[in-house]
A and B are shown apart, each in its own frame.
Chain A
Amino acid sequence: MKKVWKWWWAWQDREHEQWLAAQSCQGLHLRRVGALGLLHYFEEGAPADNIYRWDFKLSGGKADYRQLFLDAGWELVGDVGGSWLCWRKQAGTGQPQEIFTDRASLIAKYRKLFLTMVVPGLAVVPIILLDQGLWRDMLAGSIASAGVFGLGAFSFALTALGGWAIWRRMKEI
């Protein structure tokens, strides 16, 4: 088992799928993921043409959901807290190579991601940033307050960037 760290953001799911497929071509096949999906455990074997697809579930991917994917020939090779699930299938079997086969359902995946990750972030973080007490302390020279503000501003910028990326992805579908 080979451990590989790779950082990726929620809006880079397609790129990450392609990276996993490229690893499979070199004989490294994902077995499971850890550390919020950033740590990859690869099984070493013969190179293979595999397709990887990440799904995002709020309901935790219930038993009937998982069974349906297994029946359709997909193998679960990654599970991040039951909300990000990585499915794998061998390419070129003549069977469908996508877990989402129409635009509406693919867009729905990103809409769900947008509503759970971006909207709360954009709504909550400004409340911290606009807190009058925080500004008062910061202007009085409190380094801790400046740190909180900096962290808040950074999360806000990151959420905004993520939101923009997910939005753009939805528009491209």
Chain B
Amino acid sequence: MEYSKYLPLSEASFYMLAALTEPSHGYAIMQKVEAMSGGSVTIGPGTMYGAFNTLEKQKLIAKVAEEERRKIYALTELGREVLTEQVRRLEIMVKSAHAALDLGRAA
């Protein structure tokens, strides 16, 4: 499976996918993302609504229910794979950057 066309995920999409491992509606995701990121990432409703549309079109998330005008989304299997691949790539990046910075300090 080729995931490159989905990657890299934007910070907002990344956190939204991570939050959607449990089905949630928009506002719940906002709160979850803020908690997950230790308050460093906040997603405004305009950004989130646009990301819902994009991620749904890409079939990374899917609407599973609707409660009082709130759409509830969940991660799809493809969404899970893309998130996993993004995490794998990020880990490589973090590891190599640490190594490079350490090397730079030692020299």
Chain A contact residues, CB within 8 Å of chain B = 53, 55, 63-69, 71-72, 74, 95-96, 98-102, 104-105, 108-109
Contact = CB atoms under 8 A, between A and B. Distances in A.
Contacts of A69: 45-46
A67 B69 contact: yes
B55 interface: no
B74 interface: no
Interface residues of B, number: 22
Given A68-B26, A105-B51, A100 B44 contact: yes
B70 A101 contact: no
B45 A105 contact: no
B4 interface: no
Contact of B45 (A63, A72, A104, A109): A72
Interface of B: 10-12, 25-27, 30, 42-51, 66, 68-71
Contact of B44 (A64, A67, A98, A104): A98
Contacts of A72: 26-27, 30, 44-45
B100 to A, nearest CB: 27
B10 A104 contact: yes
A73 to B, nearest CB: 9
26 contacts: A53-B46, A55-B46, A63-B69, A64-B26, A64-B69, A65-B49, A66-B69, A67-B26, A67-B69, A68-B26, A68-B49, A68-B70, A69-B46, A71-B25, A72-B26, A95-B42, A96-B44, A100-B46, A102-B10, A102-B12, A102-B47, A104-B10, A105-B47, A105-B50, A105-B51, A109-B46
